[in-house]
Structure 1
Amino acid sequence: MATKQGTVDFIVEQASGAGRVSARKMFGEYALYCDGKLVALVCDEQLFLKPTAAGRATLGDEVTEMPPYPGAKACFRIPGETWDDADRLAEVIKVTAEALPVPPPRKPRRA
C-alpha cells in the first residue's frame, strides 16, 4: 500500500519544529529530510527513523526496529501516536538529524 501525500504532509507539518523539514518522493514512497540530512522514510503509511543512539535515548521504550521495506536495514518504527505530539516528533527528528553526518556534496551531472 503506497503512502498518501496527506500522510507525508501531516508528518512534515508536525515535525516542522525540528528545523527545515521536507519530503521527497522516492521509489513510490517518501524520504524525510531535516536540514538537508535524510532522517526518515515514510513507507506504507508508516514512519521509519534512521537508527541513532540519540534517537534511541529520546524514544526510550517506544523503540521498535524493523525494515521499512524488504531488504532494507532495520530502522526505528515511530508509532502513529507519536506523530500527534508535534513537540515529541520534532524532538526525535532533531536529535536524529544532529547525530547523523553531513552528507557529501553532490557531484554535478554530466550533460
Structure 2
Amino acid sequence: MTEDQKKKCRAIVHSHAAAAAAGNAVPVPGLGIATDMVTMTSMAMSLCAVFGGSLTEEAAKALAIASIKNTMLKQPIKTLSKELSKFIPFLGQIVAPSISVVMLEAAGWTLAKELEAKFRA
C-alpha cells in the first residue's frame, strides 16, 4: 500500500467509524448493527475505489457482512457489550459508540488490506 493509499484509507476508515459512532449513540438495541452494516457497505465501496477497483452495492454489502461477522466473532464480548449497554440510560450512549468505533476501525483496515491484495494482481 502506497503512502497516498494509506492516507486515503485512513480518511475513509476514520470518517466512516465516526458516522457509525453517531448512529450507535441512539439508545435502541439492534439499531447499532444496522448502522454498522450501512457504514461498512459505504466504506467497502470507497476503499475499493482507492485501489482502482469498483464494487456493486450488493458486492459491497457481502464484503461488509463478512467483515462485520469476522470482527464480531473475534470480539464477541465487545459486540454483546455494545448492544446491552443501550439498556442503561446515558452510559449506553457513551459505551456503544466507543465500541463501534473500535470495531469499525478494525474491520475497515482488514477490508482495506483484503481489497489491496485483490486489486494489486
Calculate the TM-score normalised by the size of structure 1: 0.33
Per chain length, whose mean CA-contact separation is higher, i.e. which structure has more relative contact order (CA < 8 Å, sep 6+)? 2
The structure where helix makes up a greater share of residues is: 2
Larger radius of gyration: 2
The structure where strand makes up a greater share of residues is: 1
Calculate the TM-score normalised by the size of structure 2: 0.31
